[in-house]
Amino acid sequence: MKRALGALALLLLACGCAQQSAQSTSSSAPSPQASNPIDFPLYAGSTVLTARDWRGTTGSNVAVSGHEVIAESSATLDALESWLHGLSANPPPGYSVSLSGSSVETAHRHAQELGLQFQIFSHVVAGKNHELVVVVLDPATFENKAGPVLGLIDKYSMLPQSLRDPIDQQAKARTGFTVSQALDPSQPIGAALAAAKTLRDSGERGVVLVDAAKN
């Protein structure tokens, strides 16, 4: 699928290209006893807060579906970033880092400015290519940096495209990402936004896994 999910996530972070939002639906209500259904490790000692199935479409109208896990950790963001760097250098069996190069490094620098870090891994399940976005974040820093966009999100989906475009341009100029991007759960910023909302009152850091494949 042209490494679609990984490439789009990096392009959105590095270049701010706008996409249509993904409309996701949960197949089951979050449970206090939620566990990680994705065959990828969480940071040691993390507590899973929500685990759900979702499906939607990317900006290029590619239908995708997968799983999302949001966990909390009392570890510092530096510790979580070190953990993620270690997994990037030595991925779990069956996984590989999707992309590398200067554009990826630029995307990582932009992400760090927002109080988060991410990596995108590829793996195969039952013969189907999957992309796994792993995000670690400090919700307080992220919400502070992303604040100018968060207030637009509820109204954004109701607007015609002609009105969405200038809002996306304004949001990108102020925060480095678009509202379209923030609404897409298969993108690092979208995953971070979901986690920030879930972790808003906990005071903890977040670890997010979003595993997706083309339908």
Distance CA 139, CA 145 (A): 10
Contact (CB, 8 A) for 186 and 64? yes
Instruction: Provide the percentage of residues in the chain whose pLDDT is more than 90.
Output: 30
Give pLDDT, residue 80.
Answer: 97
pLDDT digits (tens, 9 = 90+) for 24-44: 334 444 445 689 999 999 999
Question: pLDDT band for position 189 (50/70/90)?
Answer: low
Higher pLDDT: 39 or 195? It is 39
Instruction: Provide the percentage of residues in the chain whose pLDDT is more than 70.
Output: 64
Region of poorest pLDDT, from 17-31, 58-72, 128-142, 145-159: 17-31
Q: What is the mean pLDDT of residues 165-172?
A: 72
Contact (CB, 8 A) for 125 and 185? no
Tokens of 152: 């637009």
Q: Would you say residue 109 has pLDDT above 70?
A: yes
Give pLDDT, residue 140.
Answer: 86
Q: Would you say residue 75 has pLDDT above 90?
A: yes
Question: pLDDT band for position 147 (50/70/90)?
Answer: low
Would you tell me the crossing angle of helices 188-199 and 4-15 to the nearest 10 degrees? Answer: 80
Give pLDDT, residue 64.
Answer: 81
Closest residue by Cα to residue 193 from 212, 214, 174, 178? 178
What's the chain's average pLDDT? 75
pLDDT digits (tens, 9 = 90+) for 121-145: 999 988 999 999 899 999 888 888 7
SS3 149: helix
Distance CA 213, CA 43 (A): 23
